[in-house]
Amino acid sequence: MQNFTPIGGLVGGLMIGTAAALFLLLAGRISGISGILEGALQLPFSWRHAYLVGLPLGTLLVLMLAPQVVGTPALPASWGLLAISGLLVGFGARLGGGCTSGHGVCGIPRLSPRSIVATGVFMAVAAIVVFLTRHIVPLGDG
């Protein structure tokens, strides 16, 4: 909480919500990243590829225009742990029929019961993992 910036968080949340709403209104599609990525694994080139390329390009644009906004990410000491974590997140997104962006940002505002339950499960598991890694089984430094 040392670098908590409520204004930056609010602005970022408003931008994500606005982009998701505009994408739904203008394209008639939900901007859940896992679904877009799954569709992009199929060829030929489509809007999904452009969308996925635009995600890191937006970050690069922010880095160029306002580098103070983006902090240095804290990565775990173990690259193996990072790889396993990524695979588990991907498996969970597949199992849950979408990721937090699809369910939390796009599903809950549409009052989707499935999205409400999925987001609750995501948050509960995240809280349990944080508790375990900080209090029971510290990872990385030990």
Tokens 């896992």 identify what position? 34
Greatest alpha-carbon span in the chain: 50
* pLDDT tens-place string over residues 70-127: 766 676 667 887 788 788 887 877 777 777 778 888 888 889 998 899 889 888 988 9
pLDDT tier at 1, thresholds 50, 70, 90: low
Q: Which residue has the higher pLDDT, 9 or 127?
A: 127
Residue pair 31/105 in contact by the 8 Å Cβ criterion: yes
Tell me 69's DSSP state: G
Residue 116 confidence (pLDDT): 92
Helical pair 79-95 and 33-40, crossing angle rounded to 10 deg = 90
Under the banding of pLDDT at 50, 70 and 90, the label for residue 142 is very low
- Distance between CA atoms of residues 68 and 62, nearest Å: 9
pLDDT tens-digit profile of 29-51?
A: 888 787 788 888 888 888 889 98
Going from N- to C-terminal start, the domains of the chain cover 6-136
Name the percent of the chain in helix, strand, coil, to the closest 5. Answer: 75, 0, 25
pLDDT at 15: 86
- Identify the burial level of 32 via C-beta atoms within 10 angstroms of its C-beta, where 0-12 means exposed, 13-18 middle and 19 or more buried: buried
Cα–Cα dist 12/20, whole Å = 12
